């Protein structure tokens, strides 16, 4: 069950990244080219937030079942490698903040009256969420914690 969730988590993370990059690109081109905020733009906004929420749910299940997190909370991080602190606190807080920013931006963009304002709201909030996510990812080249792009179990 845990391995299946990890595999699903790996798949959904790339879906979220693809949707978020596509949404940022669409919002940027819509704003700078004065496009009409179409039904497709609204669907991309909606599905980006939905995929991020699904990723959050899977991540929370994995967080509370993780042996790394359990070990860190049990010892309060004493004498454990920095990886434990990263996944027990930093990754959790940054990703949660990114989902909150993404959700607020999606809701605000949905309620804006003009197309240009919808695009600008979506662009600003989604870029901030994207930056938070990029900081929180344990990239293979990260000075904090290194993980491969795709883990095979």
Q: Tens digit of pLDDT for each residue in 56-77?
A: 999 899 888 888 888 888 887 6
For tokens 């080249």, name the residue: 141
Token couple for 139: 């990239």
Our measurement of the distance from residue 51's CA atom to the centroid of its chain's CA atoms, rounded to an integer in Å, reads: 9
- Residues across the chain: 153
For position 150, what pLDDT does the model report? 67
> Directed axis angle between helix 2-32 and helix 39-65, to 10°?
150
Instruction: With cut-offs at 50, 70 and 90, classify the pLDDT of residue 3.
Output: low
Q: Cα 19 vs. chain centroid, distance in angstroms?
A: 10
In this structure, are residues 145 and 86 in contact, taking their beta carbons and an 8 Å threshold?
A: yes
pLDDT digits (tens, 9 = 90+) for 78-110: 777 777 788 888 889 999 999 999 999 999 999
Q: Are 63 and 92 in contact (CB under 8 A)?
A: yes
d(CA 16, CA 22): 10
Report yes or no: 55 and 17 within 8 Å, Cβ to Cβ.
no
């Amino acid at each position: 069950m845990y391995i299946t969730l990890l595999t699903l988590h790996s798949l959904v993370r790339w879906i979220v990244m693809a949707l978020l990059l596509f949404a940022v690109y669409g919002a940027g081109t819509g704003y700078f080219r004065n496009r009409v905020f179409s039904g497709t733009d609204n669907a991309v906004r909606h599905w980006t937030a939905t995929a991020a929420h699904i990723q959050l749910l899977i991540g929370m299940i994995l967080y509370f079942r993780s042996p790394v997190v359990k070990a860190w909370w049990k010892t309060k991080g004493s004498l454990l490698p920095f990886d434990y602190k990263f996944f027990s606190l930093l990754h959790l807080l940054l990703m949660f903040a990114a989902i909150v920013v993404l959700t607020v931006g999606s809701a605000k963009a949905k309620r804006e009256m003009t197309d240009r304002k919808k695009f600008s709201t979506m662009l600003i909030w989604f870029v901030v969420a994207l930056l938070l996510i990029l900081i929180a990812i344990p990239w293979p080249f990260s000075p904090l914690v290194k993980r491969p792009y795709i883990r095979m179990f």
